């Protein structure tokens, strides 16, 4: 194993690594995937996979706090961040730094990812929105200054890769009902449909949207309609009979990936169910627990992509934590990746090995990729590795709807308000998307559990308790104002030898803050929310509390924001090696045989969840890798 | 449901626990029995360190039921005065309500005069059987899924 040179070595089996692995194995390349998570978590079928899912579920049911990582094993030898560890920065010497991140502040970074087979797609919500055309050219369109950087590719160039990603993930949606403000124009190819028809909007959505035909909100003295978009998502619904893409194929003569139509006219899209049994999870069943786990795997996870790789070309080594890239001093080529293979999740005891390939791909997540590069002194002639850490900063607003809307049902969100995803105001403050949340006040208030605690603490009991809970819980509505964070070189991940984990690997050291670009957005967003609540008769219950971890003040008003789990920017793409880490093919400027995959590549985040975009980029990177291998 | 008919119905508090829970939770006896958690919850409470307190609580609860059973208003009045206040029986009434509603039991140890609570989800089953989901007219998140598109209609 040690001496065998693979065509490609991939670090990480999340959606980025899985797409590269699948695409390359089907093009007859020999691929090695190193996964830091447990072996049980990367078994791709059969009874063992079923039992692992059931174990995760049992852990989830018993968890006191149902956070995104709560079902999954806590691995001392390969730790994941946990949102419960996100606390206000301690203002003292000898701070404790609980958890995995070392938070240097001034504000704590609030988002997590998951170290596991399948990566963060195990716990993601499943929303698969594309970025918008202007998101790729923020700097030039909105005359933005230092820190901002345009993508080296345009939205138009991304379109075929978005279609590949939507095919691989299996997206349910409606192009006609994907409502965007008219100024944005059509973003889908003429005649395009998603693989599956839309996930039905919730009863809550319907009640929320009712009566809006003439309603307008005012922002900066301009009026705006509310545009409601049916949210496309990687969650099985009903195959769309008009969809005619069979899959992605490497075309060696044209040196391109192509989207292939069905061979036979009568073929149609087949939803991919669970990895243990294809008949389970063929359609969403309304478990309403997408974050953190889908009990039937109707929601996409990257294990499904790994499972459909060409097996004879794929080797997976689990419990393998990459820690150093070996670099040839003369050629600057990567010669190998050293990794520690641990025996059990928590016991000390590991062996060290080297993985060798012609080409290397880091797909370990934005923060982990940056950390590994810094630890290896690799790919950083631009000094941008680890910098420009960005997230969606979610300003949550919540209240009681005038009638019962029955939340805590269905997928986490089925509709979003797209009105403020783009516009001239981006010269001045962040844009945002507003998903309507179907799960009551769960996120900010840990409802419904806290509601019964509070009532009981007030001495309410019996039929009165039941009635009060019923009347409140059935009317809970929550909006997210997910604000696109601006890139800032001082928001960054670094390493420090005094902060290491049990396996003697670096912990990420994070410096993080919010700029006025964000604070102005919070103010504007809250004012928009206030107008919406007033128009719909929603009784405001939003509370921001100065003791909360990410509490900020702007013009005398306090706001608490929460990290959306959309971690991007730490090794961005660009057209110049002085200001970026990778080129438009996601190959590092500094090392000819090193590619970086994942959301770390993104120079801007836009207002969409990054998974679909990073999946599209993974197809693009795969294409470039195949071109290079077959030169 | 009642696999162990070998439980002595004279076991202190077993029946009292169920009866008083009806008035504490606002759910009927049948609804509580339908969760299947009566035994499990009873035995959880029987593991409480201060068993004298448990016995006193059930004794008081039973005496209220004996005296005012049949008159719901008087019952609620008495429960409100004698069981609900937090200083009564180390918050036993509140803990029982949260147990039925959320499946979480809070043990309270008294160490040097201070209350040291420890909360734990009793079991995976207790999570799914929590009354809070019925109160909210929904199902437990991650369990008892009501089916494709059910979320687009009001609950049955």
**pLDDT for residue A92:** 74
Contact B132 A285 (CB under 8 A): no
Contact A487, A603 (CB under 8 A): yes
Question: In whole numbers, what is the pLDDT of chain A averaged over residues?
Answer: 97
Q: Closest Cα partner for A484 from A520, A432, A554, A528?
A: A432
Cβ contact (<8 Å) for A288 and B151? Answer: yes
User: Chain A residues with CB inside 8 Å of B124's CB?
Assistant: 57-58, 61-62
Please name the member of A201, A289, A469 whose beta carbon is closest to the beta carbon of B142: A289
Query: How is residue A214 annotated by DSSP?
Result: T
Evaluate whether A172 touches A199 at the Cβ level (below 8 Å): yes
User: If 0-12 CB within 10 Å is exposed, 13-18 middle and 19+ buried, where does residue A223 land?
Assistant: exposed
Q: Does B135 touch chain A (CB under 8 A)?
A: yes
- The pLDDT of residue A3 is 67
> Cβ contact (<8 Å) for A462 and B26?
yes
- A172-221 pLDDT tens trace: 999 999 999 999 999 999 999 999 999 999 999 999 999 998 999 999 99
pLDDT given at position A266: 82
In a domain, B2, yes or no: no
Residue A449 sits at the chain B interface (C-beta within 8 Å): yes
Residue B58's pLDDT band (cuts 50, 70, 90): very high
- Burial tier of B126 (Cβ tally within 10 Å: 0-12, 13-18, 19+): buried
User: What pLDDT shows up at residue B2?
Assistant: 47
Interface size between A and B, measured as CB pairs under 8 A = 154
In the CATH scheme, what is the homologous superfamily, with its name and number, of domain A5-629?
FAD/NAD(P)-binding domain (3.50.50.60)
Scored b (16 or more CB within 10 A) or e, A375-411 reads bbebbbebebbbbbbbbbbbbbbbbbbeebbbbbbbb
Q: Which residues of A touch B97 (CB under 8 A)?
A: 452, 456, 461, 465
Q: CA-to-CA distance for A603 and A605, rounded, in angstroms?
A: 7
Tokens of A579: 């200001």
Within-domain flag for B124: yes
Q: Is the pLDDT of residue B10 over 60?
A: no
- What six digits make up the tokens of A24? 């390359």
A456 contacts B98? CB cut-off 8 A: yes
Say what the pLDDT of residue A336 is: 98
Residue A565 pLDDT: 97
The answer for residues whose C-beta is within 8 angstroms of residue A414's C-beta and 6 or more apart is: A199, A200, A201, A202, A205, A230, A231, A233, A436, A438, B151
Residue A448 to residue B116: CA distance in whole angstroms:
24
Report how far residue B1's alpha carbon sits from residue B4's, in angstroms, rounded to the nearest whole number: 9
Residue B9: predicted pLDDT: 46
Cβ distance A408 to B153 less than 8 Å, yes or no, reads no
Q: Is the pLDDT of residue A459 over 70?
A: yes
pLDDT, tens digit (0-9, with 9 covering 90-100), for A272-304: 999 999 899 999 999 999 999 999 999 999 999
Kindly state the DSSP code that residue A186 receives in the 8-state scheme: -
pLDDT recorded at residue B7:
45
Q: How far apart are CA A11 and CA B44, in angstroms?
A: 47
**Size of chain B in residues:** 156
**A169-to-A301, A475, A542, B83 alpha-carbon distances in Å:** 8, 33, 35, 55
**Per-residue pLDDT at A345 exceeds 90:** yes
- Answer yes or no: is pLDDT of B4 > 60: no
Distance, CA of A297 to CA of A307 (rounded, Å): 14
Q: Which residue of B has its CA nearest to A462?
A: B26
Backbone phi, then psi, for B133, in 5-degree steps?
Answer: -70, -40
Write the residue in A57, A461, A470 that is nearest to B79 by C-beta. A461
**Helices then strands (H, E): number in chain A?**
12, 22
* B141 vs B151: CA distance, rounded Å: 13
- Whether residue B7 lies inside any domain: the answer is no
- pLDDT band at residue A159 under the 50/70/90 scheme: very high
Residues A469, A448: Cα–Cα separation, whole Å = 9
Task: Give the pLDDT band (50/70/90) at residue A2.
Answer: low
**A61, A438, A449 member nearest B151 (Cβ):** A438
The secondary structure element, H or E, covering residue A358 is: strand A350-362
Sequence-distant (6+) residues with CB within 8 A of A631 are: none
Cα atoms in the Cβ-side hemisphere of radius 13 Å centred on A309: 29
Residue B1 pLDDT: 46
**What Å distances lie between residue A541 and A216, A473, A555, CA to CA?**
22, 13, 21
CA distances, B143 to each of A289, B21, B125, B127 (Å): 8, 24, 10, 9
Annotate A433-453 with three-state secondary structure.
EEEEECCCCHHHHCCCHHHHH
Bridge partners of A110, per DSSP, are: none
Average pLDDT, chain B: 93
Who among B25, B143, B150 is closest to A466 (CB)?
Answer: B25
> Would an 8 Å CB–CB cutoff place B54 in contact with chain A?
no
Position A91 confidence tier, pLDDT thresholds 50, 70, 90: confident
Complex-level ipTM: 0.95
Res A404 pLDDT > 80: yes
Nearest to B132 among A64, A200, A449 (CB): A449
Distance in angstroms (rounded) separating the CA atoms of residues A483 and A392: 5
State residue A125's pLDDT score: 98
Cβ atoms A407, A593 nearer than 8 A: no
Contacts of residues A501-504 at CB distance under 8 Å and 24 or more positions apart, as own/partner, are: A501/A76, A501/A77, A501/A79, A501/A100, A502/A76, A502/A77, A502/A346, A502/A348, A503/A77, A503/A78, A503/A321, A503/A323, A503/A340, A503/A342, A503/A350
Residue at B97 is within a domain:
yes
Q: Does A66 touch chain B (CB under 8 A)?
A: yes
Side-chain-facing half-sphere of A510: CA atoms under 13 Å? 28
Cβ neighbourhood burial of A222 (10 Å; 0-12, 13-18, 19+): exposed
Q: What is the mean pLDDT of residues B104-130?
A: 95
Chain B residue with CA closest to A282: the answer is: B148
- The CA distance from A471 to the nearest CA of chain B, in Å, is 8
Overall average pLDDT of the B123-136 stretch: 98
User: Average pLDDT, stretch A494-506?
Assistant: 96
Give the number of domains in chain B.
1
Q: What is the DSSP pairing of strand A492-494 with strand A432-437?
A: unpaired
Is a pLDDT exceeding 90 seen at residue A78?
yes
In angstroms, what CA-CA distances link A37 with A289, A300, A353?
Answer: 22, 19, 17
Closest CA to A64 of B98, B59, B94: B98
d(CA A142, CA B132): 49
Is pLDDT at B52 greater than 50 in this prediction?
yes
If you average pLDDT over residues A325-346, what whole number do you get? Answer: 97
Chain A residues touching residue B127 (CB < 8 angstroms): 61-62
- From residue A571, alpha-carbon distances to A148, A338, A598 in Å are 14, 21, 9
Strands (E), A438-564: 476-484, 492-494, 509-512, 539-540, 551-554, 557-563
A257 within 8 A of A452, measured Cβ to Cβ: no
Find the domain containing B59 and state its range. 14-152
Sketch the domain layout of chain A as residue ranges: 5-629
User: Has residue A152 got a pLDDT over 70?
Assistant: yes
How far are the Cα atoms of A618, B45, B127 from residue B51, in angstroms, in the given order? 61, 9, 25
Hunting for tokens 């300003």 — which residue is that? A395
Q: Which of B23, B83, B99, B136 to mutate to test the interface with A (most CBs of A within 10 A)?
A: B136
CB-based contacts of A62, cutoff 8 Å, min separation 6: B121, B123, B124, B127
Residue A94 scores a pLDDT above 80 = no
CB–CB of A125/A605 below 8 Å?
A: no
Give A222-278 pLDDT, tens digit per residue.
Answer: 999 999 999 999 999 999 999 999 999 999 999 999 999 998 878 899 999 999 998
Handedness of CA A392, A167, A243, A294 (dihedral sign): negative
Q: Is B143 on the interface with A (CB under 8 A)?
A: yes
CB of A485 closer than 8 Å to CB of A111: no
Q: What is the mean pLDDT of residues A562-588?
A: 98
Whether A226 contacts A532, CB under 8 Å: yes
> Tokens for A88?
């206000």
pLDDT exceeds 60 at position A365? yes
């Amino acid at each position: 194993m040690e001496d065998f040179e693979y065509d490609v070595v991939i670090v990480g089996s999340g959606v980025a690594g899985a797409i590269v692995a699948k695409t390359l194995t089907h093009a007859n390349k020999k691929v090695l995937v190193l996964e830091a998570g447990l072996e049980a978590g990367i078994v791709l079928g059969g009874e063992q996979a079923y039992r692992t899912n059931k174990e995760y579920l049992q852990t989830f049911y018993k968890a006191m706090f149902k956070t995104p990582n709560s079902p999954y094993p806590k691995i001392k030898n390969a730790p994941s961040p946990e949102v419960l560890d996100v606390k206000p920065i301690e203002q003292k010497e000898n701070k404790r730094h609980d958890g995995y991140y070392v938070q240097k502040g001034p504000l704590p970074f609030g988002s997590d990812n998951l170290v596991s087979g399948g990566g963060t797609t195990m716990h993601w919500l499943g929303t698969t929105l594309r970025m918008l055309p202007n998101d790729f050219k923020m700097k030039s369109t909105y005359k933005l200054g230092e820190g901002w950087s345009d993508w080296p590719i345009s939205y138009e160039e991304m379109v075929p890769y978005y279609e590949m990603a939507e095919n691989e993930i299996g997206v349910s949606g409606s192009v006609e009902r994907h409502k965007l403000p008219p100024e944005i124009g059509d973003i889908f190819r003429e005649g395009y449909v998603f693989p599956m028809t839309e996930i039905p909007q919730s009863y809550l959505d319907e009640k929320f949207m009712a009566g809006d035909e003439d309603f307008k909100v005012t922002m900066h003295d301009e009026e705006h309609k509310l545009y409601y978009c049916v949210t496309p998502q990687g969650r099985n619904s009903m195959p769309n009979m008009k969809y005619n893409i069979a899959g992605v194929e490497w075309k060696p003569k044209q040196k391109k990936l192509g989207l292939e139509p069905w061979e036979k006219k009568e073929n149609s899209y087949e939803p991919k169910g669970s990895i243990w049994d294809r008949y389970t999870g063929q359609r969403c069943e309304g478990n309403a627990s997408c974050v953190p786990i889908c009990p039937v795997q109707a929601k996409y996870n990257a294990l499904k992509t790994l499972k459909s790789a060409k097996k004879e070309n794929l080797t997976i080594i689990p419990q393998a934590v990459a820690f150093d890239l070996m670099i040839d001093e003369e050629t600057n080529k990567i010669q190998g990746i050293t990794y520690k293979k641990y025996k059990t999740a928590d016991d000390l005891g590991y062996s060290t090995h080297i993985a060798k390939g012609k080409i290397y791909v880091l797909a370990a997540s934005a923060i982990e990729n940056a950390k590994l590069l810094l630890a290896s002194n690799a790919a950083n002639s631009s000094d941008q590795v680890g910098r420009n850490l960005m997230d969606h900063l979610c300003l949550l607003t919540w209240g009681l709807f005038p009638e019962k809307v029955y939340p805590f049902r269905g997928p986490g969100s089925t509709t979003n308000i797209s009105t403020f995803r783009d516009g001239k105001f981006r010269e001045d403050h962040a844009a945002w998307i507003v998903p309507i949340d179907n799960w009551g006040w769960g996120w900010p208030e840990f409802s419904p559990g806290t509601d019964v605690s509070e009532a009981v603490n007030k001495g309410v009991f019996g039929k009165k308790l039941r009635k009060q809970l019923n009347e409140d819980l059935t009317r809970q509505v929550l909006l997210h104002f997910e604000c696109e964070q601006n890139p800032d070189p001082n928001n960054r991940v670094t390493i420090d030898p005094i902060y290491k984990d049990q396996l003697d690997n670096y912990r990420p050291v994070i410096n993080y803050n919010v700029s006025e670009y964000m604070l102005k957005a919070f103010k504007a967003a809250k004012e928009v929310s206030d107008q919406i609540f007033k128009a719909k008769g929603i009784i405001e219950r939003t509370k921001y509390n100065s003791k909360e971890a990410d509490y900020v003040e702007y013009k005398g008003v306090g706001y608490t924001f929460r990290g959306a789990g959309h971690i991007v920017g730490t090794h961005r793409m660009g057209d110049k090696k002085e200001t970026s880490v990778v080129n438009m093919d996601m190959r590092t400027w500094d090392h000819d045989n090193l590619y970086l995959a994942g959301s770390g590549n993104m120079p801007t985040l836009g207002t969409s969840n990054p998974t679909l975009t990073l999946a599209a980029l993974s197809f693009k990177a795969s294409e470039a890798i195949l071109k290079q291998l077959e030169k | 449901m009642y696999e162990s008919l070998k439980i002595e119905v004279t076991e202190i508090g077993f029946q009292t626990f169920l009866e008083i829970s009806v008035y504490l939770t606002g759910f009927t006896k049948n609804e509580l029995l339908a969760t299947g958690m009566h035994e499990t919850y009873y035995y959880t409470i029987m593991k409480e360190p201060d068993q004298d307190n448990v016995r006193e609580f059930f004794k008081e609860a039973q005496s209220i039921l004996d005296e005012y059973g049949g008159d719901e208003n008087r019952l609620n009045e008495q429960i409100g005065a004698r069981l609900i206040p937090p200083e009564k029986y180390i918050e036993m009434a509140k803990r029982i309500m949260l147990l039925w509603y959320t499946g979480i039991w809070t043990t309270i140890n008294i160490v040097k005069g201070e209350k040291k609570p420890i909360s734990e989800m009793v079991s995976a089953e207790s999570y799914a059987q929590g009354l809070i989901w019925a109160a909210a007219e929904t199902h437990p998140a991650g369990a008892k899924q009501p089916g494709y598109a059910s979320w687009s209609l009001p609950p049955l």
